[in-house]
Structure 1
Amino acid sequence: MTYTGNPMTEAMYYILLALMNPNHGYQLMAAIDQVSNGRIKMGPGTLYGVLTRLQKDGLIVILNDDGRRKTYVITEAGKVALRAEYKRLKDMVQDGILVEEI
C-alpha cells in the first residue's frame, strides 16, 4: 500500500513532522508535544496505530529495532507527502482570509 495523497489526519501530520529526527515511541510522544507547542498530546494507542499506517503507506521505516523499542524515521516519500500536506494547509489558511472580512 502506498500513500494516495489524501489529506492527512492531524496525528499523521504531527508524527511525520516529529520524525524529521529519528525517534522511538516515548521520545516521539514528547517530540509531538514539542513541535505542536503543547497543543497535541498523543497517547500510545493513537501513536502506534498511526505508525503502523504510515509504515504501510511507505512514509516511514524502522531505522533500528533492538527488541525493546523501535526507532522510526521519515522516508523520502514521507517528506514529499509532508511538504504537500504543509502546502495544502497553508493554502487553506490563505483561503480563510475571507473570514477577516466578516
Structure 2
Amino acid sequence: MGKEAPLTEAVYYILLAVREPNHGYGIIQEVQEMTDSRVNLGPGTLYGAINSLLDKEWIELYSEEKQSRKKKSYIITSKGREAFNSEVIRLKELVKNSEKMGE
C-alpha cells in the first residue's frame, strides 16, 4: 500500500463499521456502540468522510433505496481493507513500542 497518512479516528471507525453493508445512520449507531459513546459522528463528519472514502475507492455504494429519502448502504473495498489493515499494523507497533519502554 504505500505510505498513507494515519487514519483519523472517524475514518478508522467508519471503515470498521462498513465491513458489512451499512447505511449512514447505522454507521453512526455502530461507532457509538463500539466506543461506548466516546465517538459520536455528526452527519457532516460522516458524509464528508464517506465522500472522501468513495473518492479513494476505499468504500463503494452497496445499495440505494429509491424510496424513502434514498437510503444508501456502503461496504469496504479491497483497497479500503488494505488501508485499514495497514493502520492496524501501525497502531500495534505504537502500542508495542510503548510497552517496550515500560509504559
TM over 0.5: yes
For 1:87, the equivalent position in structure 2 comes to 89
Deviations 1:57-91, CA, capped at 9 Å, x for gaps: 11000011123211000001111111110110111
Deviation at 1:99, TM superposition (A): 5.1
**Inter-CA distance 65–89: structure 2 relative to 1 (3 Å threshold):** same
CA RMSD of aligned residues (A): 1.6
SS in 2 for 1:64: strand
**Given the alignment of the two structures, is residue 63 of structure 1 paired with residue 65 of structure 2, yes or no?**
no
Deviation at 1:4, TM superposition (A): 5.9
SS in 2 for 1:53: helix
**Given the alignment of the two structures, is residue 35 of structure 1 paired with residue 37 of structure 2, yes or no?**
no
TM-score (norm 2): 0.87
SS in 2 for 1:33: helix
Q: Aligned letter for 2:15?
A: L
SS in 1 for 2:63: strand
Verify the 8 A CA contact 1:62 1:71 in the aligned structure 2. yes
TM-score (norm 1): 0.88
SS in 1 for 2:75: strand
Q: Gaps spanning 5+ residues in structure 2: where?
A: none
Deviation at 1:37, TM superposition (A): 3.2
Identity rate of aligned residues, in percent?
Answer: 38
